[in-house]
Every structure is written in structure tokens, then in C-alpha cells.
Amino acid sequence: MSPAESRTMNAIRFDFRSDTVTQPSPGMRKAMGEAEVGDDVFGDDPTVKRLEQRMATMLGKDAALFVPSGTQSNLLALMSHCGRGDEYIAGQQAHLYHHEAGGAAVLGSIQPQPIAHQPDGTLALADIEAAIKPDDSHYARTRVIALENTFGGRALPMAYMTSVAEIARRHGLGLHLDGARAFNACTALGVGIAEFTAAFDTVSICLSKGLGAPVGSVLVGRQDLIDAARRTRKMLGGGMRQSGILAAAGLYALDHNIARLGDDHRRAKRLAEGLSAHPAIRLAMPDTNIIFVDMDPEVGQRFMAFLKARGVGITGTYGQQRWVTHLDVDDATVEGALEQVAAFFAA
């Protein structure tokens, strides 16, 4: 095999690694190219202002802040709710605890209090209540409860979030939502984004996942918390200058890429049905656009190598894999990937 043939064989043709891999559409690129810009650190980028106002209005909150990433958005929220030595409660596998490099502890001096997830992805209400510290100088002060929805692609029920909000109110705590894929959750649950986020003091929304923008998240919430986050954003190096070019992509995504999320969910279900036809593959049917697959580790290692060589991009190790549908995955992509899966098991 020639080097050129090898590169062709290993090129990703069917990319299910994440919904972060999407390419800006021609319409989005046009909107970015035509964006009116200013210096956002000075507060005079009109496109950024429009995005922030749009998001605040959509969620029914006081204010919003455009930031480079979801990781920074979650960190800004925690640092707005908490001071040095304070504590936040989150799930053991929550992104802001498990996958954001310990930023709250390292940069905010905020202590995490992780709680084990239940099989459905929720945190047991009794476990949350038990983790809240009493007013005692021996303990870090609990300041905020952080939820994530969707969690691992699951759309957690509205009634559950309402129950957690009641605990937060009863104890005088803040409530943050890592809503990186909140619009996916709303699509699955059939509720509007304002209703979905009503109970939360701060909400992080990612624009660069299912919504298809190349960069950016928005932190939305109570005015005093967003004001504090804006100051901390500067400290963390997140103040961007003519960022209206990026904000324009976010505005385009809000206009064009929310209603189509149901297509991603439909394709994920078709993909899951096709994968589950093979007895070696174990999975739960997805709520949204993310599928987790379990296999025997030895078979899984060969399976992933086979798919990679045939241009199917997924993530995972040791027999556990994640498949994600997105706006650059169409019906033909799903069927093409399933053909390669079938070829592996037929070999």
C-alpha cells in the first residue's frame, strides 16, 4: 500500500467522535464575514452585545456573557458563586468536576464535593442534602449545587431539576446548570429553553457542539453573577477583542440550528438500532445525540482499529466507545458506518 493509499484509508469519512467536530456552513461563514465588530473588552462590539442580549432574553435571565469555551463558562460560574475555600456540589462524573482539569480548585480555590450518580444519571436527592455542610468553622462553606443536563446524552427530567432547586432554595444555595447541550435536552423533553432553565441562577450554554458554531459558549444568569463573571473572564484571559466575528456564528446557530437537533436524535436512534443488532455490542437507546457502547475489551480494541482503518471516527478505549451524531452526519453517513460495523462482524 502506498503512503497516499494509507492516508486515504485512515482519513475520517464517517466522523462520530463528537458534535464539536462540525464545520461552519456556508451561511454561517457568510454571517461571520459580514459581522459588525468592535472591541468587546471595551464593551463596544455590537454583534457580541446582540448575542448576549439574545441569549439572556431566550432564557429569561438578567444578563449573559460570551466566552471562549464551556470550560471557562463553568469556571466563571463557580467563581461567581463561590469565594476562596467555599465548596460546590456536583456529580462524580460531571464535566465541570471530572473533565475540566480541576480548574475550580486550582484557579478558584474552590473545593469540590462530588456525589455518585444514580444509574439514570441523576444525583440522589438525599445524597445532595447530606453533602451540604452545616455552618461550622471545621467545614468548607457549601455555596452552590451544579447540575448537568444533558448528562452523557441523557435528558434528565424537569421534575428532578425542580426537586434539586427546592433543596438549593431551602438551604440558601446557588444553582448552576452546565447546559452545554441544553437545547438537545429541550428537544428531547419537548420544553422551551426558558422553562428548562427557570430554576437556575447561572446557566452555561455551548454554541460549538450541536449548534455547530466553531467557537464559544455563553454564561447566562443573574445580573450580579454575570457582572462578577465578566471581571473574572478578564483575569482568566478570556476577554476577546473583535469577537463579533465569532458571536455572529453563534447568532446564526440560534437562528438555524436549534430546530434541526431532532434530526441528530433520530439518526442516533437509527445508529443505535443498527449497532444493537450485533450481540457483541451492548448499549442503551439514546435520548439525544450520544450513544455509549460497551463490548468485551479484546473485541472492542479490534473493533475500533478496524473502524479507524476504514474511516469511521469514534472515541473510547477498552471496549467502551462513544458515538455522537451532529449536523455534519446525514443518513448516508449513518448507513455507511453501519456497513463497516457489519463488515467487522462478518469477517
233 lies in the same domain as 287 = no
- Rounded CA separation 164/158 (Å): 10
C-alpha cell belonging to residue 205 = 450554554
Please state the domain count of the chain.
2
**Quick check: 62 and 222 in contact, CB under 8 A?**
yes
Q: Give residue 318's pLDDT.
A: 81
210 lies in the same domain as 328 = no
Mean pLDDT across 259-280: 98
In a domain, 29, yes or no: no
In a domain, 183, yes or no: yes
Last residue of a domain, one of 224, 256, 288: 256
118 lies in the same domain as 191 = yes
Residue 72: CA atoms inside 13 Å, Cβ hemisphere, count?
A: 21
Handedness of CA 59, 211, 95, 218 (dihedral sign): negative
At 3, the pLDDT band (50, 70, 90 cuts) reads very low
Query: Is the model's pTM score more than 0.85?
Result: yes
- Rounded CA separation 214/171 (Å): 39
Mean pLDDT across 267-293: 98
Q: Domain range holding 271?
A: 3-22+260-346
Look over the chain and give the mean of its residue pLDDT values, rounded to a whole number.
96
At 10, the pLDDT band (50, 70, 90 cuts) reads low
pLDDT in tens, 121-175: 999 999 999 999 999 999 999 999 999 999 999 999 999 999 999 999 999 999 9
Q: Give residue 8's pLDDT.
A: 41
230 lies in the same domain as 274 = no
The CATH number of whichever domain residue 298 belongs to comes to: 3.90.1150.10
Phi, psi values for residue 335, rounded to 5°? -65, -35
At 347, the pLDDT band (50, 70, 90 cuts) reads confident
Q: Give residue 56's pLDDT.
A: 98
In a domain, 301, yes or no: yes
In a domain, 94, yes or no: yes
Q: Give residue 317's pLDDT.
A: 84
In a domain, 27, yes or no: no
175 lies in the same domain as 190 = yes
Last residue of a domain, one of 223, 256, 289: 256
In a domain, 179, yes or no: yes
The CATH number of whichever domain residue 153 belongs to comes to: 3.40.640.10
Q: Give residue 283's pLDDT.
A: 97
HEC-encoded secondary structure of the chain: CCHHHHHHHHCCCEECCCCCCCCCCHHHHHHHHCCCCCCHHHCCCHHHHHHHHHHHHHHCCCEEEEECCHHHHHHHHHHHHCCCCEEEEEECCCHHHHCCCCHHHHHHCCEEEEECECCCCCECHHHHHHHCCCCCCCCCEEEEEEEECCECCECCCHHHHHHHHHHHHHCCCEEEEEECCHHHHHHHHCCCHHHHHCCCCEEEEECCCCCCCCCCEEEEECHHHHHHHHHHHHHCCCCCCCCHHHHHHHHHHHHHCCCCHHHHHHHHHHHHHHHHCCCCCEECCCCCCEEEEECCHHHHHHHHHHHHHCCEECEEECCEEEEECCCCCCHHHHHHHHHHHHHHHHC
Mean pLDDT across 265-284: 98
Mean pLDDT across 293-322: 94
pLDDT in tens, 212-239: 999 999 999 999 999 999 999 999 999 9
18 lies in the same domain as 56 = no
147 lies in the same domain as 213 = yes
Whether the predicted pLDDT of 5 surpasses 90 = no
Single-letter residue type at 93: Q
In a domain, 138, yes or no: yes
- Rounded CA separation 202/74 (Å): 9
At 4, the pLDDT band (50, 70, 90 cuts) reads very low
67 lies in the same domain as 150 = yes
pLDDT in tens, 48-102: 999 999 999 999 999 999 999 999 999 999 999 999 999 999 999 999 999 999 9
Q: Give residue 319's pLDDT.
A: 83
215 lies in the same domain as 307 = no
In a domain, 49, yes or no: yes
C-alpha cell belonging to residue 238 = 478570556
Q: What percent of the chain has pLDDT over 90?
A: 96
pLDDT in tens, 178-220: 999 999 999 999 999 999 999 999 999 999 999 999 999 999 9
Q: What is the dihedral of CA 92, 95, 98, 101, to 10 degrees?
A: -160
331 lies in the same domain as 231 = no
Last residue of a domain, one of 256, 287, 309: 256
Whether the predicted pLDDT of 325 surpasses 90 = yes
286 lies in the same domain as 224 = no
Torsion region of 319: left, alpha or beta (phi above 0 gives left; psi -120 to 50 gives alpha): left
120 lies in the same domain as 208 = yes
Handedness of CA 145, 148, 149, 152 (dihedral sign): negative
